[in-house]
Structure formats: structure tokens, C-alpha cells
Amino acid sequence: VAEAPGDADAAKPPDPWAEARFEMVDRTVAARGVTDERVLAAMKITPRHEFVPPANRHQAYEDSPLPIGFDLTISQPYIIATMTEAVKVKAGDKVLEIGTGSGYQAAVLAMMGAKVYTIEIHPELGARTKKVLESLSFKDVAMKIGDGYFGWEDAAPFDAIMITCATPEIPPPLLAQLKVGGRLIAPIGDNFEQELTVITKTRDDVTRETLMGVRFGQMKGEIDKVR
């Protein structure tokens, strides 16, 4: 896990992005109702600008999605925070992320002390993002290229699963890899209407809670067969 700045970093030059990052969290995340202090603290020390392409880096701490290439975006900070808070991640939890994208969501989870397993279906984007995560010393993020529909069976079961792309239904392998009592969050729907949904696995079934309407890019791969 990348470490938060401490006394040992006193000799380092000041972070020119720190003020913008703190303002982003205070004004566009906490002010809109996210109250989990661990989520807020993680976002205050996770360098979002490192996960944004250079052409858009000056916008890194605005509360908006930004293009990262491949017709994909890095989600707006408020959505990242809302999803992270909703799955109630604790230090030491194993979390599966479907759709690595820029790597920012995985970084926030790692900053919270989670062991993150993240899957990206786009090989070129995945290779780029892996370099970013490695350059920032996120040792608790394991990443692979593949179809997230099938999850990461060798690392299951997971305390939480985050799907960061829209899906018409939750892939059965992902539900199977979620612990009893674990929580899964996903934007469920089509190109036109999606609802951010939290699913909690019980011994006999699942419960569902709808949080809000959202707009995410579509999940690709095996899931296309059920569309």
C-alpha cells in the first residue's frame, strides 16, 4: 500500500496538487453527503492527477469524469466516493474490481488498506495503468487483463466487488465469488438508463438497494451474449 505522508516526508517538496485535492474532497464529495471518514481520507491522499492523461491533468480535481482514451473515462470523484462508501470496505478486506480503467478506484481502495484484485479487458489500457500503479508503489493491487464476467476465481471469495461498467445483470460467477455478507455494487441497466445498485449476499439469497441513476460505459465481453 502506498503510504500517507508523515514525518519522514517532511524534507520532501510540498505537493502542488494538495490544495486542489483537499478542496475537491471537501466541496464536491463530503459536501454532497459522503460521510465515511476513511473514504474521505483516502481520497485526500490519492493523487488523482497521476491517473489522468497529461492533456487533461489540469482538470484532475474537478468533480467530473475525464477521458482516458479508448472511449473510456475516469469517473467523477463523487461517484467514486459514493461507490466506495456503499460497499463498506475495511482494512484487510479483499476487493474485486471489474473494469480497472485508469486505476484510480483501485488506488483509493488500496489507500484504505484493502487488498485489491482488478481486471481490465482492454490490453493496451491495462498495460498503461499497470505501469502507473507500479510507479506509485501500490503493492496491494493485483491486476490482470481479462473478461471481468468470470471474476478472479483463484482469489475468491471477496468481501466486496465493484463493477465500474454498466451491465444488464450481475454475472453469476461474480455473485458466486462474493462472501456471504459481502456487498457488490454495479450500475445495472442499458445505454440509456442505469441504476447504481448495491447487492448484499445472504445465506439464501441477495438483497438489493438502489442508490441513484448513473451513466457508465457498457461492460464488454461475455456479457454481450445476454444483451
Q: How many residues does the chain have?
A: 227
Where do we find the cell 489522468?
A: 52
Distance of CA 90 to the CA centre of its chain: 15
Instruction: Report yes or no: 117 and 94 within 8 Å, Cβ to Cβ.
Output: yes
Which of 64, 75, 102, 135 is flagged as catalytic? 75
Which three cell numbers, joined as nine digits, stand for 222? 461475455
The reply to whether 64 belongs to the active site is: no
Query: Of 207, 215, 141, 223, which is closest to residue 174 (Cα–Cα)?
Result: 223
Query: Looking at this protein, which amino acid is placed at residue 174?
Result: L
Q: Which residues are marked as active site?
A: 75
